[in-house]
Chains A and B, each alone.
Chain A
Amino acid sequence: MIAGIRIGPGVRLTKMILAALSLCLGIVLGSGALSATASPAPTPTPTSDFTNTLTIGGVLRDGDNVVEGAEVTVEGASGFSEVATSDDTGRWSVIVPEKAEYTVTIDPETLPDGVELRDPDRDTATVSSSEWQTNSITRSFPLGADTRQTTGFFEQFLQRLAAGLNFGLLIALAAIGITLIFGTTGLNNFAHGEMVTFGAIIAWITAVLLGVNIFVAMLIALVLGGVFGYVQDWLLWKPLRRKGVKLVQAMIVSIGLAIALRYTYLFFIDGSTKTMNVGLSDAIVLGPVRITTGSIVSMVISIVALLAVGLFLTRTRVGKATRAVSDNPSLAAASGIDVDRIIRIVWVLAGALAALAGVMLGLYRQVSWDMGFQVLLLMFAAVTLGGLGSAYGALVGSIVVGLFVELSTLIIPADLKYAAALVVLIVVLLVRPQGILGRKERIG
């Protein structure tokens, strides 16, 4: 990992890491100077992330494929009208003069052959003046009714299956941290999503802004994620444990932390979504399944990381101690295990895994300030489905959630897929409150 850091242009990278660190440490308090040091960094995306321009934009996608060359018109009051054409990443954006109301219209004629609006009547969208919380607003047009007709159900199924497996593994990577923290401290960590976002932002800064190799960026994110977890435990959670703060109180503290971190990210990287253009978007065709190299890389890394965690928990002394603390903290403490040290290790591990998951989530989708929060509930769903506190359960629950999210789109509208997964969570709790894998009773 030290080697990994040396590869980059030494001094500047160290600066960058320091910047990222203080980003996670010094949450706010007028450290606006940071954005000034970050803005001169070379940025390949022309959306200029640190300026004051107002944009309306979006990414046109047909399933996993980007749609290039489609025309989108943005019209506003006082005769403002401008046309944007989607580029080779499917991205389009229009710079608008003021935070006002606009109408956004896509021209279906300019869509490539075989791609249509999923709902032909939905070719316009509006932006209201109250929406300008950030400098950029995203509007999307659901595409792809046509593909559904041309590809058979079985191909669709396999395609979704692959995507679901990939997504499930990503969730598992992040959710194991949640379950380990819950197991060892009893805390439901609502700020876990922000640890995911943290990893994605670090990778985006290193790989996209600084042009470092994506795998090196991944390592950097992994290490900094671990540091982030360590610092959180050191500065916040351990003192709170000492203070005797109750569980619900701690849970609400984590909510406050999540809000503070989330808006800190927004403060620094603004509200637009960022694409990780790192050369991993080539599609590979495996029989009926079309899959990007990024997805394959992400799956392989997830599996390797999960296996490593599994081996760590079952084969090493520290891992066994971790499980002992999860099972019965007082017994573990009585048998000479340093519980505080184990919890510290769990936080480091959780931070590193969440950051790694964030990097891959950025590759799989995009990077945005609230990406972690969007998947937080899915992680909770996965952990709860698997039975709170069990690492193996978290893995199974995550795969179930991932598969369900993707496969449900075969039947229900894609914009309800997260809702479907959460409904499953509620139904499972109704039938089996102990989770899918949790046994009704257990005895040691």
Chain B
Amino acid sequence: MDWGNIFGNAIGEIISPTTAAYALAAIGLGIHFGYTGLLNFGQAAFLLIGAYAFAIPTLAGAPLIVAVLSAIICSIIFAFILGIPTLRLRADYLAIVTIASAEVVRYIVTTTGLTDVTGAANGLSGFKGTFAAINPIPEGRYGFGPFVYNEYDWWIRIVGWTLVVLASVLVFLLMRSPWGRVVKGIREDEDAVRSLGKNVYSYKMQALVIGGVMGSIAGIIFILPRAVQPANYTTGLTFFIWTIMLLGGAATIFGPIVGAMIFWVVLSLTQGILYGAIEAGILPFIDTTQAGQIRFILVGVALMLLVIFRPQGIFGNKKELSFSV
């Protein structure tokens, strides 16, 4: 077994753009669930919307800034469509409606009738030009140890992690302010907050929009190193983001970032070790595809154990962060 390679790949996941995208999506979900108490089970839809609303205008020839704005605006509109009917409803209804809406948008981009726009099941590719064009890094390979990448890969990582840091700063500023106090109050008991003269509905909507926009920007980072594939945006994606958020701690600043890093490092490690074991003939009865599936079984089991035995996550304070409902 090539341990060096296995660990090298795993360490590389720490700063990979995918990890950044998941971290950003989890930060957004943290605003929804961790701070405001909204049960959003449709975060994948925000990533999907970010991806398509960025890729489609770019492929139509729009400049980078227009494509990014399009992603942000579309996610705001989607947040309103999602929030208007559901934010007055009980929490579990919000869960079912958000998960259903996420599936609806996925069905829509996958339908063959929209092949010319969305590429249907095949998705979209060839939208990296505008982003690569503003890359200030000269061509070449840079880095040390396991972190050696070409100029495009470094550019995605720098932009992606800068956005993650900016989002974390934003969450920090929001949550130390009276605004954060109101949304945390809503998480605890929205009637009490209402009785104190706060427009609960409006605050929930604001939280939904901010977290959704973060999800949509995460969607852009997510597709920059790859193609847009509608099959990536199933509810499975939402649940992985949930796992990451709960892993780090739902209402913490660094929780989602560390959660995303641990999630991807562990996935990479288990994959490397299982593949190595299969090649070395230690696990004769499974093949590499099945090894990939074992990882997801472990994700499911880990999610269960986490929620049962450490609901506050790694960083969370036991008193503050157990579930309120």
Contact = CB atoms under 8 A, between A and B. Distances in A.
- Is there a contact between chains A and B in the complex with CB atoms less than 8 Å apart? yes
A413 interface: yes
Given A248-B323, A255-B239, A128 B103 contact: no
Contacts of A278: none
Given A28-B301, A240-B308, A380 B39 contact: no
A42 B298 CA distance: 31
Interface stretch (B23-31, B173-181, B190-198, B283-291): B283-291
B302 A256 contact: yes
B119 to A, nearest CB: 10
Contacts of B302: 256
A259 interface: yes
Interface in A225-280: 240, 243, 245-249, 251-253, 255-264, 266-267, 270
A335 interface: no
A429 B97 contact: yes
Contact of A264 (B91, B287, B297, B303): B297
Given A247-B325, A253-B308, A416 B111 contact: yes
B100 interface: yes
Nearest to A428: B85
B242 interface: yes
A125 B96 contact: no
Given A119-B112, A122-B112, A413-B112, A260 B97 contact: no
A154 B152 CA distance: 58
Interface stretch (B52-60, B63-71, B209-217, B225-233): B225-233
* SS of A interface (majority): helix
A256 to B, nearest CB: 3
A416 to B, nearest CB: 5
Contacts of B11: none
A426 B82 CA distance: 9
Given A248-B39, A423-B104, A128 B122 contact: yes
Interface string B61-93: 000000000000000000000000110110111
A13 interface: no
A52 B308 CA distance: 36
Interface residues of A, number: 62
A426 B85 contact: yes
Given A246-B323, A256-B304, A257-B304, A267 B103 contact: no
A384 B96 contact: yes
Interface stretch (A4-12, A32-40, A88-96, A298-306): A32-40
A415 interface: yes
Contacts of A245: 308
A60 to B, nearest CB: 15
Nearest to B85: A430
A255 B303 contact: yes
Interface residues of B, number: 63
A24 to B, nearest CB: 13
B301 A249 contact: no
Contacts of A426: 85, 97, 100-101, 104
Contacts of A118: 112
Given A28-B301, A52-B289, A264-B297, A415 B112 contact: yes
B285 A36 contact: yes
Interface string B112-131: 11010000011100000000
B103 A130 contact: no
Contacts of A35: 285-286, 290
Contact of B292 (A133, A248, A249, A433): A133
A159 B281 CA distance: 54
Give the interface centre of B104, B122, B305 by most chain A CB atoms within 10 Å: B104
Contact of B301 (A128, A260, A413, A416): A260
Nearest to B86: A429
B244 to A, nearest CB: 13
B293 A419 contact: no
A260 B307 contact: no
A33 B290 CA distance: 13
A130 B111 contact: no
B294 interface: yes
B74 to A, nearest CB: 18
B138 to A, nearest CB: 29
B41 to A, nearest CB: 8
Given A418-B103, A425-B97, A429-B86, A249 B308 contact: yes
A259 B283 contact: no
B95 A122 contact: no
Give the interface centre of A128, A247, A248, A256 by most chain B CB atoms within 10 Å: A256
A373 B235 CA distance: 10
B99 interface: yes
Contact of B299 (A259, A267, A380): A259
B108 A419 contact: yes
B107 interface: yes
A26 to B, nearest CB: 11
Given A52-B289, A263-B300, A416-B107, A32 B242 contact: no
A240 B92 CA distance: 19
Interface string A141-184: 01000000000000000000000000000000000000000000
B115 A122 contact: yes
Give the interface centre of A133, A252, A257, A263 by most chain B CB atoms within 10 Å: A252
Nearest to A135: B289
A130 B226 contact: yes
A380 B96 contact: yes
Contact of A267 (B297, B305, B324): B297
A128 B124 CA distance: 12
B146 interface: no
A131 interface: yes
Contacts of A119: 112
Contacts of B95: 188, 251
Give the interface centre of A264, A267, A373 by most chain B CB atoms within 10 Å: A267
Interface in B307-323: 307-308, 311, 322-323
A422 interface: yes
B297 A260 contact: yes
A266 B293 CA distance: 7
Interface string A12-38: 000000000000000110001101100
A433 B289 contact: no
Contacts of B99: 377, 380
B190 to A, nearest CB: 15
30 contacts: A28-B298, A32-B283, A32-B285, A32-B286, A118-B112, A119-B112, A130-B229, A131-B231, A134-B293, A246-B324, A248-B39, A248-B91, A248-B323, A249-B307, A251-B92, A252-B307, A253-B303, A263-B294, A263-B296, A266-B293, A384-B93, A415-B107, A415-B111, A416-B107, A425-B96, A426-B85, A426-B104, A429-B86, A429-B89, A433-B89
Given A33-B285, A142-B112, A248-B324, 18 more contacts: A36-B285, A119-B112, A125-B122, A188-B95, A188-B96, A246-B322, A248-B91, A248-B325, A251-B39, A255-B242, A256-B304, A259-B297, A260-B300, A377-B96, A380-B96, A415-B112, A416-B107, A425-B96
